[in-house]
Chain A
Amino acid sequence: MKYFQLIWTALFRKKLRTLFTLLSLSAAFLLIGLLQAVTSLFAGSVDFLGADRLIVQARTSFTQSLPMRMLPQIEMLPGISRVNHSQFFGGQFQDSRQPFPQFVVNPQRLFDTYPEWVIDKDQRANFISTQDGAIVGRLLAERSGWKVGDIVPLNSFIWLKADGSRVWEWRVVGIFDGKNQEWKDRTQLMYLNYGQFEEARPLRAKGLAGVFVVRLKHPEDSQRVSDMIDAKFENSVDETKTQNEQEFQLGFIKQFGDIGFMMNLISAAVIFTILILTGYTMSQAVRERIPELAVLKCLGFTDNLVLWLVLAEALLLCAIGAGIGMGLSTMLTTALPAEFPPLRTDGRVWLFAATTVVGLALAVGLPPALRAKRLKIVDALAGR
């Protein structure tokens, strides 16, 4: 701590240069914070998903439907407590720039397989009994201004009605929420009653499900039950691929590209750019101070102490820049309106930034620090 003032004053020896470097670092870390918040959103979005749920899809692709008759066959297997069917609806409501997912489900089975959803008892009963009923997640309802009793027309880009129309009208019968913050943050979706869907579909599409959602009695049976389900339908026309819910969601996300990889790639480009800039600044700053460093050695500062002082200066520079950038990133993501995805500059992002700061400080600080360590007092004082 006693060397702090020495490090601090050395850092701000050329105020304008340090200020510009800090601005660059802050901008870079703001960008890194936001990019990593996106990565974190995708990675973290599946972290909390139940280990006691499996998703059964067609072996070839989850876009391939499975026959509904498989549901009781799966449900009778040991270790399974409940099975639901779920079909991605692909509906669009007026403004296509704000898409939200909808799933066609069996309402009763939904609440059995997803006890994390919380809904009023009457609304739950209405969803079960209303053929064209829909329940809306709290965040989605707030964003769209929907309330119970509203009719929501959805234009499905996947499902045609038997009469050829793509517009399906759904009656909002309930608003559901999550049991905790993670699930509350996920309430940007809509569930639709299978009744109307099945009735209005063309004959050739009837009796088909997208995937089956399996709730296990014991999470530790996950692998065993997965293998059992896939084995049961092996060599049939409807071979299955069963995964836990996390794996399924990650696979779903990756169909749009490996978001995390792309975000990390952009982050790496940003870090590389800032590394060059900060590295140049640090080298320049130390080069200008060679005689001063030699004087410190004259006074009895050891070679290693001088090395640590330069490294500490690099670390301080990077930490201040990163602190400002990450602070701004946190403020921005916190202040995002509800219609945006729930981005968070969370612990995972801060940890990434902290690791980056240490790596960056070492990369930009070590070369000049080693130079400072190795400098010969007599040569440095003589300007050689």
Chain B
Amino acid sequence: MAHTPKPPLVEIRGLTKAYVRGKQVVEVLHGIDLDIPEGDFVALMGPSGSGKTTLLNMIGGLDSPTDGLLMVNGQRIDDFGSNELAAWRARTVGFIFQSYNLMPVLTAQKNVELPLLLTDLNASQRARHADIALELVGLSDRAKHKPNELSGGQQQRVAIARALVSDPQLLICDEPTGDLDRKTADEVLKLMQTLNSQYGKTIIMVTHDPKAAEYARRIVHLDKGVLVDEAAH
């Protein structure tokens, strides 16, 4: 029996992104081709302005390409409208940002529960799911604390729990350790590695930090809007 290879989770072909700045059209990405299989952990690296965050935003459905094809899990998300894209993000993607982006007025638990407000779960089910996610990142004892009562590393772990709570296939991380010291950054990266290796989460991470990139399975380099190099660990 012939073996059909599994299609990549993320399939990018000829992806182009251009911005209009005044009278000028600035092309940031020039026809990117990239496949990311399910369960991969990819670090996107490159100098400032190379287009790595733009590429990440498009894969996460936060921005739309000017041209090209962008498929995630067999769906052409570059064709989606705003509401469709929002629903798709809620189901498929978890986001982790450099500056954590937690709601300052909500406790860690309520922050983690936020994505679940878009589901049919009731309040107690939402709380239970949030507890499990916080336990996974080792912050059960900080559930009732607000972000300003937590360290940077703890806040980032709450953000990871929030990204995980709705069990998305894909984690999109934009400089997740950019604001952390080395030791805390390593803890957070190890946690992400665990999520990748033990829970099968596909992770795409933008980073400037070569040490952080070492935690990924694969490093993709961009420069001036084109892929220049790919390396597997």
Contacts and interface: CB of A to CB of B under 8 A. Distances in A.
A299 B61 CA distance: 11
Contacts of B118: 299-301
Given A377-B62, A378-B63, A298 B95 contact: yes
Interface in A286-314: 291-292, 295-304
Contacts of B88: 300
A254 B114 CA distance: 58
Q: Pick from A2, A5, A299 the residue with the most CB of B within 10 Å.
A: A299
B117 A302 contact: no
A300 B89 contact: yes
Interface residues of A, number: 23
A299 B63 contact: no
B26 interface: no
Contacts of A295: 95, 97, 101, 103
Nearest to A376: B63
B123 interface: yes
A349 to B, nearest CB: 35
A261 interface: no
B117 A3 contact: yes
Interface string B96-126: 0100010111100010001101100001000
Query: Is the contact region of chain B dominated by helix, strand, or loop, or is it mixed?
Result: helix
B117 A298 contact: no
B86 A297 contact: yes
B106 A9 contact: yes
B224 interface: no
A13 interface: yes
A231 interface: no
Nearest to A289: B103
Nearest to B111: A295
B15 to A, nearest CB: 15
B151 interface: no
Nearest to B126: A2
Given A9-B110, A303-B86, A378-B57, 18 more contacts: A3-B117, A6-B103, A9-B103, A9-B105, A10-B105, A292-B103, A295-B97, A295-B103, A296-B114, A299-B90, A299-B115, A300-B87, A300-B88, A300-B118, A301-B86, A304-B83, A377-B57, A381-B62
Interface of A: 2-3, 5-6, 9-10, 12-13, 291-292, 295-304, 377-378, 381
By Cβ-Cβ distance, the 3 closest A-B pairs, closest first, are A300-B90, A9-B105, A302-B86
